[in-house]
Structure 1
């Protein structure tokens, strides 16, 4: 093997070139094999969900025993680090990639009458209920739009919500509360949603939203969020004793939308419940940031 040494002026030029490459890389991350702005440093409150029309989530009734059996093996939790992907992984990751996030946990005791939206949609029965509420966020960190289109063209995927006034995607998210030994409690929720562009999470993404509840989807580099205050955005914990629990939240649970990566569709958060107080033990960076697929 022949080795050639760089000397004099050629060596200086080479060093300057290396320095330029290093400086140019500052402030970037590798996501999907491409250096981009970190989408999780962009403000995710660009649009206030509480003041934006159509920002609603609804739910099916509690999961049936068959549903629970089919998901008895929880999907992998979000990883704590983002190792650089290989060239093969980069090629495989072109497309839609949903990553969930949860936050803002609180416990409330609420009374529902027969005319309440939650009762009309079958979330709860009339009466007093103790609820574990939280925000659910769906990030599309892939490089392709998740386009579902007009709900009336896909009655197999959508159902109409009388209380909310528009169609919702069936069973898109699943929420399960596990006890300290990892066993399921009775607190389970199959959740339906209107998928739309709520706020931009990546500076290189399109600056204009293109999906709403009439033409549904989530654009690449955008996210949808379902605020804890919305009807159905909770798990009923009426008879749940105080103790240590884990919330497991899965998006695209039925595989409705084809993704290039499904191993980062579930997040888990360790919680302590004491009377009307809930405390999270899992660092927020571990359940909002996606793993590398």
Structure 2
């Protein structure tokens, strides 16, 4: 009868240790699973007004939570809200095959609430958050920043042609600040952009393409 080689037991022992370490060491996926994931869900309802004293592009923007848990808007120790700027909008015009930035503006937060269903397949309950002391966005729900709300616009001026509008969620990384509870952290800050390519000919806005930085969970 053959006997196992001593070195074979040693190899099996090391393999068991490595597997145990791999299975018990927290990973980024595990960490993200404890937090919400806010994303710019859709930009729409484009129109041009004279709000800023000249041609002004206004639009709506839905912000959804596709993370693992409900998002709760964080507060400072004095009770004030610590998440204050939800978007930065950057408008560029195409000139000679290159994009030239012509405007950039911040969108301050009024409140964050459950307004519309976004990802129905991950929703766990009905509306919870409203525009009062209990603010946030539930998993699978979306908040709506419609065109007439403060900051939902960029200045076109006298430009016409082809434009690139970028919306960046949490531009100042306020949802990555030290000390935030898991339910107030944005799990993936790398999927916070939405880009819209559109044209404006002086009379009508036409959307050519919308580019999102995440996959729809449904």
1:271 aligned residue (198, 202, 213): 198
In the TM superposition, structure 1's runs of 4+ consecutive aligned residues that sit over 6 Å from their partners are: none
2:67 is matched with 142
Q: If you compute each CA radius of gyration, which structure gives the higher value, 1 or 2?
A: 2
Length-normalised TM-score, structure 2: 0.69
Please report the RMSD computed on the Cα atoms of aligned residues, expressed in angstroms.
2.6
1:228 is matched with 147
Q: Mapping of 1:170-249 within 5 angstroms?
A: 170-180=84-94, 181-185=98-102, 187-193=103-109, 194-201=111-118, 202-214=120-132, 215-237=134-156, 239-249=157-167
1:102 is matched with 43
1:255 aligned residue (173, 182, 196): 173
| 1:185-235 deviation line (CA, Å, top 9, x unaligned) | 1x2110112111112332442332221221221111111011123343211
Length-normalised TM-score, structure 1: 0.53
Given that 1:108 and 1:276 are in contact with CA atoms closer than 8 Å, whether structure 2 keeps it comes out as no
**Compared CA separation, residues 154 and 235, structure 1 to 2 (3 A):** farther
The CA deviation at 1:270 is 0.9
Unaligned runs of 5+ in 1: 1-87, 111-123, 158-168
The SS at the match of 2:191 is coil
**Compared CA separation, residues 260 and 176, structure 1 to 2 (3 A):** same
Given that 1:197 and 1:210 are in contact with CA atoms closer than 8 Å, whether structure 2 keeps it comes out as yes
Unaligned runs of 5+ in 2: 1-26, 176-184
The SS at the match of 1:206 is coil
Instruction: Work out the number of aligned pairs and report it.
Output: 174
The SS at the match of 1:253 is coil
Q: Mapping of 1:1-293 within 5 angstroms?
A: 90-94=29-33, 95-100=35-40, 101-110=42-51, 128-148=53-73, 153-155=78-80, 157=82, 169-180=83-94, 181-185=98-102, 187-193=103-109, 194-201=111-118, 202-214=120-132, 215-237=134-156, 239-257=157-175, 258-282=185-209, 284=210, 286-287=211-212, 290-291=214-215
The CA deviation at 1:275 is 0.4
| 1:85-128 deviation line (CA, Å, top 9, x unaligned) | xxx66435312111102112111234xxxxxxxxxxxxx5xxx3
